[in-house]
Amino acid sequence: MKHLKVRISNSHVNKNLEIKADRIIDLLQDVEGIHIHSLTEFTNYLNENNLGVFLLYRQVDIIGRAKFNEEVTLTTYPYNTTKASGYRHIYMYGENGDLLVKTNSFGAFVNLDTLRPVRLPEEIINSIGDKSQDPTIENLPRRINYNDTNLKLIEKIPVRKAFIDRYNHLNNAHYVSFALNNMEYNSFTRIRAEYKDSFQLNDVIYVYEALDNENKTFVYKNDEGRIYTVIEFSNPTFK
């Protein structure tokens, strides 16, 4: 388990002084990366064999919004890790200890040269230190359903250098940012993201909106019409 304290500042908030959804994604990635780096045996094995952990699915439940100058605490731990893949929970707590965000994610181990999935030795998996799955998180399917016959193209976005992450791919937070440009602020309490493939530098993202879905859903395709990512925003009520 790993903890990270962050002071919410100007770069995190909107005009209402509340943290933006894409900045929440950034902080989730930060504590996740710091935790993975702290797993010395696991990280050394990845580096020595040029392997990475690729995110395939993330569900973010937003119970409350951190405010400007509030110190939040992020906590994370993995669970149900196998030789090929694993799950992770990440939480954000406010200054008073109130739960603001709880998440579930799934990733796979990948060879960075071939981009093919790999299997890790059992002793490396055992070194991770799995915890238990949180029963309070609604564990939805990793596949996001939508009607592919009624999509509206709303914009084309070239992938610039500023969008690229450590794996030379479009950073996960940008998928959310692009969708938020076409939405009402604070009109959702849950984000789900299904990552099928990764956009790279100079690719062009074709952003579509699914028009007849109950939830607000965006589908990102390449110029050949292949689906790379599906992002869904919904508004469940959390107890």
| CA 7/CA 69 separation, integer angstroms | 6
* Domains of the chain and any CATH numbers: 2-126 (3.10.129.10), 151-234 (3.10.129.10)
pTM equals 0.93
pLDDT in tens, the chain (239 residues): 789 999 999 999 999 999 999 999 999 999 999 999 999 999 999 999 999 999 999 999 999 999 999 999 999 999 999 999 999 999 999 999 999 999 999 999 999 999 899 999 999 999 999 999 999 999 899 999 998 889 999 999 999 999 998 888 899 899 999 999 988 766 799 999 999 999 999 999 999 999 977 899 999 999 999 999 999 999 888 76
Q: Cβ distance 31 to 91 under 8 Å?
A: no
Cα 96 to Cα 1: distance, rounded to the nearest angstrom: 20
The residue whose two tokens read 């731990």 is 77
Burial 205-238 (b: 16+ CB within 10 A, else e): bbbbbbeebebbbbbbbeeeeeebbbbbbbeeee
The backbone torsions φ and ψ at residue 141, rounded to the nearest 5 degrees and listed phi first, read: -60, 150
Structure tokens at 198: 């990764």
